[in-house]
Structure 1
Amino acid sequence: MAPPPKEGIVAAGTGARSYGPALTLLASLFFMWGFITVINNTLLPHLRSVFDLNYFQTTLIESTWFIGYLLASVPSALLIERIGYQRALTTGLAIMTAGSLGMILAAGLPSYWVTLGSLFTVSCGIALLQVAANPYVAVIGPPETSESRLTLVQAFNTTGDVLAIIFGQQLILARTVGGTSLDGRELSYAERMADAQATELPYLIVAIVLAGLAVAIAMAKLPELGASTRRASAEARKNLSLWKHRNLVFGCGAIALCVYAEIGVSSLFINFASQEQIANITKADAASYLAFFWGGMMVGRFAGAWIMRFVAPEKVLALFAAGGIGCALVAVFVTGPVAMYALMAMGLFISIMFPTIFALSIRGLGPLTEEGSGFLIMSIAGGALVFIQGRIADDYGLNWGFLLTAACCAYVLFYALWGSKPASAPQAVAAVD
């Protein structure tokens, strides 16, 4: 007789109905971590005004965020092995809640260092969610639709991105002197201290939602993953190596660079668009245009999930990467609103990169899926390199930094055309169906 499922875990039945409710609940996780990540896009120009930072110091805040992914991803994989997927998801949400409460403290002080520590804590919680949820979504259904399924759920992640921009615009930038002033206005010390407190209410709301979601995940009944997706025993792993999977090795680089491209554009968009030679608008108004960047991400992922049911994901990825190269080059060499529109369009072309690369990278890993996923999530730390773009912006101008964005998309194009092809016969992966 088969052993009963663990508490809180139910064995899957047959058909899409068995994993449909779980997929819906997991979509809410993707939504929430997308939401809290993209609040940073309005938070960074806000903090630049509050603490009087240059672009290097501003992007260093975003780098600290992604260092959390680097340090937390491998321990997250070990924690999942020890406590299981469901408890890991709940733990990740609890960590994010604690970090959000820390942001309230940072705003009240105000403190640059408490802000960095709090954002680092939130990112560690998101890293745990990413390591657990991405492979879970990829394998709980038929393997032939894993790329489409993961892209679809990531679309809800981007829905959170869009709403986060509106949320940050209205509750942070629109309520501050720095957010409603044209670029170049010098704020007094009193104005900067008053602006700092604008983040207290937004992060209180975020903390309450995260705590409620943690309770919901803890009480839910989620389908158990197939045996082949669990970590292999030490004996079984002796003849298995992640390095033999070319699609994973090159996929780690592709994940790092596509995240860098996304973060480089979204973090600097508001400051770029508000420049006199580009659109000459306030930061609050620039945030409205940034919402179209994330809107393009959302539309691209929903559309991509549908297209990949009929067209090979590698071909779709190659097409989108080529479009991203073109848009980045326009932002570098063209001035006026056209440059801003090109960056807005980048959202559409970057949209499918992360989920498609992730699914292609773990294809054929079998019992190595969890470890491979840990390395892929660790690769998200590529976003930490955004400080390089900040240094370029300080020394040469914001537009020249987008040459790096074009180079990132060029690597993704290489991955789609060659790097994503498995070097050996894939190992069977039993899906929970």
Structure 2
Amino acid sequence: MPQNKYLFPLILVTSLFFLWGFAHNLDPILIPHLKRSFTLTTVQATLVDSAVFIAYFIMALPAGFILKKYGYKTGIITGLLLFAFGAYLFIPAANTQQYGFFLIALFVIACGLTILETAANPYISSLGDPESSTQRLNFAQSFNGLAAALAPIIGARVILTKGASDETLSKMTEAARKIALATEASSVKTPYFVLGSVLVLIAIAFAFTKLPEIESGEEQATDKNIFQTFKHKHLSRGVAAQFFYIGAQVSVFSLFILYATKSAGLTEVKAADYLGVGGIAFLIGRFIGTFLMKYFRPADLLAIYAVINLMLCLSAIFLHGMVTVYTVIAICFFMSIMFPTIFALGIKNLGNDTAIGSSLMVMSIVGGAILPRAFAYIGDAAGNIQLGYFVPLICFAVVAFFGWKGHRTNLKLINAVAPIL
């Protein structure tokens, strides 16, 4: 546990995990909302995820350089302000009623989130005993789980309930229907304005709070480059595991509402409520997982959870009715420890390469831009969104291997191909 001098910084930085978790978990609400408002296919709707997670890939290394040159505090404030600016962009996006403008706003938000996550994850890991870094990061990420529980429930009632019913829309002329659907996009203005204002206030709070700077030790050599960091094979495999895990997580959460309306015949708002239950399961899983790490090695727990989720994916593919909803909620529970555990194991013992390693781990979040689209392509092509769960199934198999053997710093197996993965 952190020393007393680290307690308040730990609390303050932990709040960031809730904030970006809330933003991310509004995306599953935006996907069916914008899909309906702009009459999109499932694949087109997943551009919401693509806009968000491509930003992680583009901004991860610049975020690392910002932290190295200006420090964690400046990086956090920069990330918060960029996050707020993106939230405010939802107002002109709604006014112009352009899908592309929404994607730009989401991209800007994600650029801010990239800086925040690049800073907050290693910062939390460093605030205390290195031996408890994985447990500490899981605790902080639990508040991300709290946001995952609250955002869909709140977002559904603020955003999804504002439009005309399908029966009303069916009676309209085509022109009137398009206007009505496009106007629904305006329901996002108030929640994102409030979110942006809260972020500005928190950025001001950070500006007036003294935070300890975390030093990694010796200065990195000036000729150090990103490719040299791949000499740490467990980092290479961690980047691959995180890529596939994020792809699985985004597929499960972002497409939950579309999945549940088809597999169990739920309404969108009811499906959003069950997504909130999934968020609660995710939160409980974080706390239970953090507790279990006192008795089990994090890597072993990661492998076990991944194998369980692999089997649950088969149920999500082949079963029907409410059991599929409960199955996906169970997947949320067992996903709970994966991101922070993979992150902590991937950057463990990197020394002077920790900052770049952290950036690489954040870059791997681009899996959330790519794999959900594969999920959607399978669902659209087959006319059955349940078949998309073959994508998370493969992802959890990769995570299981990382927890079983891939995290080991002295592992020689597949070292030659790990950077390619």
Question: Which residue in the other structure is 1:201 paired with?
Answer: 190
* Aligned residue identity for 1:216: A
1:290 matched to 2:275? The reply is yes
Q: Distance in 1 between matches of 2:259 and 2:122?
A: 36
Q: Alpha-carbon deviations, 1:348-367, whole Å to 9, x = none? A: 01110000000000111011
Aligned to 1:4: none
Give the 3-state SS of the residue equivalent to 1:222 in structure 2.
coil
Contact 1:245 1:423 in 2 (8 A): no
- Relative to structure 1, the CA distance from residue 227 to residue 395 in structure 2 (aligned partners, 3 Å threshold; closer, same or farther) is closer
What letter corresponds to residue 317 of structure 2 in structure 1?
Answer: V
Residues 117-149 of structure 1, C-alpha deviations (whole Å, 9 max, x = no match): 110000000001111111111112111101000
Cα contact 2:27–2:48 (8 A) shared by 1: no
Give the alignment of 1:354-369 within 5 angstroms: 354-369=339-354
Q: 1:291-337 CA distances to partner (integer Å, 9 max, x unpaired)?
A: 11111111111111111122110111111111111111101111111
CA distance, structure 1, for counterparts of residue 316 and residue 267 of structure 2: 19
Inter-partner Cα distance in structure 2 for 1:15 and 1:84: 20
What is the alpha-carbon distance in structure 1 between the residues aligned to residue 149 and residue 243 of structure 2?
22
Q: Which residue number corresponds to residue 338 of structure 2? A: 353
The within-5 A match list for 1:59-70 is 59-70=46-57
- Does structure 2 retain, via aligned residues, the 8 Å contact 1:145–1:309? no
Is 2:216–2:354's contact at 8 Å kept on the other side of the alignment? no
Q: 1:227 to 1:56 in 2, by over 3 A?
A: closer
Partner of 2:241: 254
| AA aligned opposite 2:86 | G
Q: Which of the numbers 42, 58, 63 marks the counterpart of 1:55?
A: 42
Q: For residue 359 of structure 2, what is the aligned residue in structure 1? A: 374
Q: CA deviation at 1:372?
A: 0.2
Corresponding residue for residue 141 of structure 1: 128
Deviations 1:1-45 (A, max 9, x none): xxxxxxxxxxxxx96211111110011101000001110110110
What is the distance in 2 between the residues matched to 1:140 and 1:247?
A: 23
| Closer/same/farther in 2, CA of residues 308 and 186 from structure 1, 3 Å limit | farther
Moved more, 104-113 or 87-96: 104-113
* CA distance in structure 2 between the aligned counterparts of 1:101 and 1:262, rounded to whole angstroms: 27
Asked if 2 retains the 8 angstrom alpha-carbon contact of 1:42 and 1:165, the reply is: yes
Tell me if 1:191 matches 2:177. no
Find out whether 1:221 has 2:210 as its counterpart.
yes
Of 34-43 and 335-344, the range deviating more from structure 2: 335-344
Letter in structure 1 aligned against 2:355: E
Pick from 372, 376, 383: which aligns with 1:390? 376
Partner Cα distance (2:8, 2:45) in 1: 40
Compute the displacement of 1:234 (Å): 2.5
Inter-CA distance 274–311: structure 2 relative to 1 (3 Å threshold): same
Once residues 227 and 197 of structure 1 are traced to their aligned partners in structure 2, the CA distance between those partners, rounded to angstroms, is 46
Counterpart mapping for 1:120-199 below 5 A: 120-177=107-164, 181=166, 188-199=177-188
Aligned equivalents of 2:171 and 2:246: distance in 1?
33
Tell me if 1:81 matches 2:68. Answer: yes
Deviation at 1:185, TM superposition (A): 7.0
Separation (CA, whole Å) in 2 of partners of 1:361 and 1:34: 21
Aligned 8 A contact 2:2 2:127 in 1: no
The whole-number CA distance in structure 1 between the counterparts of 2:210 and 2:305 is 37
How far does residue 194 in structure 1 lie from its aligned partner after superposition?
Answer: 2.7
Does residue 402 of structure 1 match 2:389? yes
Residues matched between the structures, number: 403
- CA distance 1:227–1:57, shift in 2 (3 Å): closer
- For structure 2, the 5+ residue unaligned runs are 412-421
Which residue of 234, 246, 253 maps to 2:222? 234
Following TM superposition, the consecutive aligned residue runs of length 4 or more in structure 1 with deviations greater than 6 angstroms are 184-187
Residues 60 and 363 of structure 2 are in contact (CA less than 8 Å); yes or no, is this contact kept in structure 1?
Answer: yes
C-alpha displacement at 1:231, in angstroms? 5.0
CA distance in 1, matches of 2:297, 2:206: 34
SS for the counterpart of 1:281 is coil
SS at match of 1:335: coil
The aligned residue for residue 11 of structure 1 is none
d(CA) in 1 for partners of 2:211, 2:40: 45
Number of the residue aligned with 1:308: 293
Aligned match of 2:4: 17
Equivalent residue of 2:44, what SS?
helix
Structure 2: distance between partners of 1:272 and 1:382: 20
Preserved CA contact (<8 Å) 1:231 1:369: no
Superposed CA deviations along residues 192-223 of structure 1, whole A, max 9, x for unmatched, are: 03311111111111111111111111111112
- The residue aligned with 1:211 is 200
User: C-alpha separation between the residues in 2 aligned to 1:227 and 1:274?
Assistant: 49
User: Aligned partners of 2:356, 2:228: CA distance in 1, in Å?
Assistant: 10
Question: Which structure 2 residues correspond to residues 328-347 of structure 1 after superposition, within 5 A?
Answer: 328-347=313-332
Normalised TM-score (structure 1): 0.90
Residue identity in the other structure for 2:377: R
Contact 1:251 1:415 survives alignment (8 Å) = yes
Once residues 185 and 229 of structure 2 are traced to their aligned partners in structure 1, the CA distance between those partners, rounded to angstroms, is: 46
The one-character-per-residue Cα deviations of 1:215-252 (angstroms, maximum 9, x if unpaired) are 11111111221342x751327x59x9422212100000
- Per-residue CA shift, 1:123-178, capped at 9, x if unaligned? 00000111111111111211110100000000011111211112211100122236
Give the Cα–Cα distance (whole angstroms) in 1 for the partners of residues 102 and 194 of structure 2. Answer: 17
Equivalent-residue separation in structure 2 for 1:15 and 1:32 (angstroms):
22
Unaligned runs of 5+ in 1: 1-13, 425-433
